[in-house]
Amino acid sequence: MPLSLQDFQPLPPLLVCADLQGDELGPDMRGRCDETLDKCRRLMAHWRSRHWPVLHLKRIARASWFDISHAGSDWMKDFRPRPGELTFEHALPSAYSSSRFVDYMRNVRPETSIMVGLSLDQTILSSAIDGFHRGYRHQVVADAVDTTRQPPSSRDTLVTVLSNFSSTIQTSGLLRPDERAEKTGESRK
């Protein structure tokens, strides 16, 4: 029996985790970003449980280039890529400064890519704008992104700017009802 277009499922959404590295989170930021990191952790667990693709962006243009013993640019413990998950290193703020990332996006052409992470003011903002101009429409999870280099009050402003170049969504719209209930302590029915 020949296959028809209805036999093909759409590609699963990509989860793009931006710069979840140790040096993104200085000692003075640990408490401030806990909620954002928790949401990133829950979204990654959700994607992995469904075997959907998780991509990791790693910013490499830092002074740590010159100090090989510096482990700050390594992944935070809970956010290390797993086998089979792709990692893209980028020297400039935009993920599109990685030729491998450009090739991946061009060849896979995902319908939906969802961005989370701690580099809202750099990687997430510049990648969303760069992607927009290349014909991609990233979605940014507004409550699972933050900036560690700007005051907390700038987060809402940056998300507003992002809404001109990407869709913004909330974590609750991406998780199953039972996962939302787990977080709030409600019983499953």
For the stretch 5-33, pLDDT in tens is 555 567 788 999 998 887 666 666 566 78
The model carries a pTM of 0.81
Q: Flag whether 144 is in a domain.
A: yes
Report the domain count for the chain: 1
121 against 152, higher pLDDT: 121
Q: What is the CATH number of the domain that holds 28?
A: 3.40.50.850
148's CB contacts (< 8 A; 6+ apart) are 24, 25, 26, 29, 33, 118, 119
Please check whether residue 169 is in contact with residue 140, taking contact to mean a CB–CB distance below 8 angstroms: yes
Domain range enclosing 126: 11-184
User: How far is residue 164's CA from residue 153's CA, in Å, rounded to a whole number?
Assistant: 19
From 184, 179, 181, 187, select the one nearest 45 (Cα to Cα): 179
Q: 105 lies in a domain?
A: yes
91 neighbors 62 (Cβ within 8 angstroms): no
Q: What is the pLDDT of residues 30-67, one digit of tens each?
A: 667 888 899 999 999 999 999 999 999 998 865 544 44
Decide if pLDDT at 71 tops 50: no
Q: Is residue 189 part of a domain?
A: no
Structural domain includes residue 178: yes
Please report whether residue 6 resides in a domain: no
Position 82 in a domain: yes
Tokens of 23: 């040096």
Which structure tokens are listed for 36? 């954002």
* Mean per-residue pLDDT of the chain: 81
pLDDT, position 6 = 54
Percent of the chain with pLDDT over 90: 48
Banded pLDDT at 187 (limits 50, 70, 90): very low
d(CA 106, CA 172): 29
Structure confidence at residue 66 (pLDDT): 47
Report the percentage of the chain scoring pLDDT > 70: 76
Asked, for residue 70, whether it belongs to a domain, the answer is yes
Has residue 72 got a pLDDT over 50? no
Q: Is 85 helix (H, G, I), strand (E, B) or coil?
A: coil
Question: What gap in Å lies between CA 126 and CA 143, rounded to an integer?
Answer: 18
Query: Once rounded to an integer, what is the mean pLDDT over residues 91-101?
Result: 93
Whether residue 3 is contained in a domain is answered as: no
